[in-house]
Amino acid sequence: MTENVARRGFLVGGAVLLATGCTSNEPAAAPSSAAAPAPAASGNDQPGTKVVIGFSAPAADHGWIAAIAKNAEATAKQYTDVEFRPVDPTNDINQQISAVESLIAAKVAALVILPNDGQQLNQVALQATDAGIPVINLDRVFPDKLAYRTWIGGDNYGMGVAAGHYIGAKLKEKGVSNPVILEIQGIATLPLTQDRSKGFADALKTYGFSVTAKQDAKFTVETGNQVAAGLLQAHKKIDALWNHDDDQGVGVLAAIKEANRSEFVMVGGAGSLNAMKEIQSGSSVLEATVTYSPTMASSAIKLARLIAQGKGMSDLVENQVPQSITLASETITKENVEKYLPLGFES
């Protein structure tokens, strides 16, 4: 996949910077599966100039992308001064370009775009900017900084670091030497996957460990199942496994249960609801997941509203919204999973 199912994808103990936290002291973003609570009518949340916010994202071919669209729409509905104008989601590059062009022609006040491919949609984002429409670039970044007003997304390198530290500390605590550590990536050729793998390797190195074997699973349940089954068969003893993505993790966990293996610790990635419930059960090899939360879409809508209305972020001294916001990667374990459950998305 050429980033059409690539995505996101944090640092141990960090806090996700939600736009609910960056626009004012509001409560955390609502879960993707429920209606977002109405914001308090104070500060930046008081009704302002009516603005039309255009929205374009890939088709929901997995849980994370589905949650992106739901979160964006739910957050837009919180505001009486926002008209939310989404275009049909698509995984076709040319169709997404045409859809964005229609929003430019409609002269929306701001555009939130999660591109199928940042490189291939860079030109149409530049067209929007040239037309005076601020672009909020969500997750997959446009290579040209002139193509967007603000970027918001996850920390792929930090995601790997968080997973590496969790696994490294666990194995050191157990006194394991020369551990067998496996890694199941999303798509090996994507920069986001490479960043995750580098963060993982760098963190493990601080414990004197390294990855024994890794393979990519294309971000799908089916491939996750196939790859995990092959790795389990090839390695009769495993000490730890990091799976980059909780959507494909459904297949990974199914393979583990089918093989009746439980001798190792597993860490997931993204923060899906089903992964959190596995962690909460305390009876699964999945002990933790590191976040790459689709709540970033809620934040993107809030940022678009502020920019379109000429406002800044009330918790900051500066008068304008920052040019770039990187969400922190948090580690979800059985000890803290309760507070993350409302933010989980369905795989």
Write out the DSSP string of 97-110: HHHHHHHHHTT-SE
Average pLDDT over residues 17-46: 46
Beta bridge partner(s), residue 136: 112, 150
Average pLDDT over residues 219-237: 97
- Contacts of residue 202, defined as CB under 8 A and 6 or more positions apart, other chains included, come to 160, 161, 164
- Contacts of residue 146, defined as CB under 8 A and 6 or more positions apart, other chains included, come to 126, 129
Dmax of the chain from CA atoms? Answer: 63
Average pLDDT over residues 189-206: 94
Contact 279, 184 (CB under 8 A): no
Q: For residue range 255-264, what is the model confidence (pLDDT) as tens digits?
A: 999 999 999 9
Architecture of the structural domain at 19-153+295-326 = 3-Layer(aba) Sandwich (3.40)
The least confident of 19-28, 98-107, 185-194 is 19-28
pTM, to two decimals: 0.82
**Neighbour order of strands in the sheet with 135-138:** 82-86, 51-56, 110-113, 135-138, 150-153, 324-326
Q: For residue range 302-313, what is the model confidence (pLDDT) as tens digits?
A: 999 999 999 999
Classify domain 156-291 at the CATH superfamily level.
Response regulator (3.40.50.2300)
Contact 111, 135 (CB under 8 A): yes
Average pLDDT of every residue of the chain: 89
- The SS3 call for residue 136 is strand
Closest CA to 301 of 46, 14, 78, 34: 78
- In angstroms, rounded to a whole number, what is the distance separating the alpha carbons of residues 291 and 293? 6
E strand or H helix that includes residue 1: none
Average pLDDT over residues 166-178: 97
- Contacts of residue 317, defined as CB under 8 A and 6 or more positions apart, other chains included, come to none
**pLDDT at residue 297, as a whole number:** 98
Rg, the chain, Cα only: 20
DSSP one-letter string for 247-275: HHHHHHHHHHHHHT--SSEEEEEE-BHHH
Contact 330, 276 (CB under 8 A): no
**pLDDT at residue 62, as a whole number:** 84
Token pair for residue 323? 């040019």
- In angstroms, rounded to a whole number, what is the distance separating the alpha carbons of residues 51 and 249? 39
**pLDDT at residue 34, as a whole number:** 40
**pLDDT at residue 8, as a whole number:** 35
pLDDT at 152 over 90: yes
Closest CA to 84 of 326, 319, 297, 322: 297
Token pair for residue 76? 């837009």
pLDDT at 31 over 80: no
Confidence of residue 243 (pLDDT cuts 50, 70, 90): very high
Please state whether 18 falls in left (phi above 0), alpha (psi between -120 and 50) or beta: beta
The boundaries of every CATH 3.40.50.2300 domain in the chain are 19-153+295-326, 156-291
pLDDT at 287 over 70: yes
Q: What percent of the chain has pLDDT over 70?
A: 88
pLDDT at 120 over 50: yes
**pLDDT at residue 61, as a whole number:** 81
Please state whether 107 falls in left (phi above 0), alpha (psi between -120 and 50) or beta: left
pLDDT at 18 over 80: no
Average pLDDT over residues 154-170: 97
Q: For the chain, what is the total number of helices (H) and then of strands (E)?
A: 11, 12
Hey, which bits of the chain come out as E strands? 51-56, 82-86, 110-113, 135-138, 150-153, 181-185, 213-216, 240-243, 265-270, 286-291, 324-326, 331-332
**pLDDT at residue 17, as a whole number:** 35
Confidence of residue 187 (pLDDT cuts 50, 70, 90): confident
Closest CA to 268 of 260, 151, 148, 256: 256
Average pLDDT over residues 3-26: 34
